Amino acid sequence: MSLAIPRTSLGSRHRSYAPLAALLTAALIAVCAVAAWPASSPLAASVGRVGLDQRWRTLYVACLIAAFICYLAGLFFLRRRGSRLRLVAGLAVAIQLIPLGAPLLISTDVWSYWDYGRIAAVDGGNPYRDPPDAFPADPAYPFAGHAWRDTTSVYGPVFTLASEPIGRAVGASADAAAWTYKALAALAVLVAAALAAHLARRKPFALAFVGWNPQLALNFAGGGHNDSWVAAVVLAALALAASNRRRLASIAWAVAIFIKWFPLLLLPLHTLENRGGKRRFDAPTFAAAVLVIAGLATWRYGLSWSSAFAPLKRAATHGSHFALPHRLTGLGLGPHLALVVVGVAFVAAYAWLAQTAWRGHARLGLTAGLILLAAPYVVSWYTVWAVPLAAAEEDLAAQVLILGLCAYLLRQGVTH
């Protein structure tokens, strides 16, 4: 009597491991969300709370690390055996939406978005000229982070224009502001995941690469950061270009750049890749879109909206502890020399990437990962710049790099 296990049964068993890993990821994310609710927890975004119980933070970090390990295991089994796209999608939706049940996590950035939107829409000011402390009576002001109260908006005019109606709609409710931006950020991650799957050949894996990522879930459905907006629009631009909708793709690139600056480094490579044929970049439409957006921004905010690019200088000056240039200072390099070393290395890498794009292969996911490596200021939610691109392009080197960066930045997202 043979005791051999049928090959089909063994394959089915392997396929079941990936959804199980995703379910464990979701359960651990749920524990992270619950850990933010106690009044003594330091995980809920706040301004000036003291005397908090750090054991909640320890629990959060342990569950986040465990969730990330489960996520990696899920990707491993998916890469080997695959899974049904609908199942992967359902689990992605669950993972990305669970943190909506938590209070605003860790960072108060969302309340700064709210404050800047109200300055323009309600207070009669200009968020690119008037910092929040110019309107201390505004209900958003007490919730904005101390570091940003004397700082004008650092976000592009497209995002600020979108923040104005949100500021009006949520009124004086900090909770409504938080959950509005959290929901929009979570939706943007899911859109980016769906578009990555649309562009990739191995659709379940690409969808899981983005949608099962616990770091993205806790930073966006949990923290509401606007970087997911940029990722979704860039992926939309790539999807539109892939379907030969050149004009819409060019408009999407312009919109992305006017939310945050980083797509400016991706666009030249995309243009080089598609310099000929039906998918070539539509420069006239892009220029027209830029002029329209710049005109609207100037009409609404004057020329002061251009100060949104000032954070590049601020980032180079202050940096962050987890950034590579800062780490190099620990090896004995001075701050300026560390910036020069990293900058030269990035320029060399970018030149190589430009040659690769000229040959017809723009490795945008790898480029975004290298931007994160070279940036003097980096936080965990910036990983969304690279994760969907690496998934869409199915670039193994980019995927390994960005997963390594995600793992490296897990703790940073809790100590920010």
Domain count, the chain: 1
pTM: 0.93
Grouping H, G, I as helix, E, B as strand and the rest as coil, residue 345 is helix
Instruction: Supply the DSSP symbol for 44.
Output: B
Q: How confident is the prediction for the chain on average, in pLDDT?
A: 91
181 domain-assigned? yes
Is 84 contained in some domain? Answer: yes
Question: Roughly what angle, to the nearest 10 degrees, separates helices 263-273 and 335-358?
Answer: 20
Sequence-ordered strand ranges (E) for 45-168: none
8 domain-assigned: no
pLDDT over 90, % of the chain = 77
Q: Does residue 3 surpass a pLDDT of 50? A: no
Is residue 326 a part of any domain in this protein? yes
Is 58 within a domain? yes
Asked if residue 311 is part of any domain, the answer here is no
> Tell me: the pLDDT tens digits for 293-341?
999 999 999 999 988 876 555 555 556 788 888 888 877 888 888 888 9
Residue 265 in domain: yes
Residue 278 has pLDDT above 70, yes or no: no
Domain carrying residue 373:
14-306+316-415
- Give how far Cα 257 sits from Cα of 173, 253, 399, Å: 30, 6, 24
Judged against a pLDDT cut of 50, whether residue 171 lies above it is answered with yes
The DSSP string of 77-92 is: HHHHH---HHHHHHHH
370 assigned to some structural domain: yes
Helix (H, G, I), strand (E, B) or coil at 137: coil
Q: Which residues pair with 44 in a beta bridge?
A: 105
The pLDDT tens digits for 116-141 are 999 999 999 999 999 999 999 999 99
Which are the contacts of 161, defined by CB distance < 8 A and separation ≥ 6? Answer: 296, 297, 300
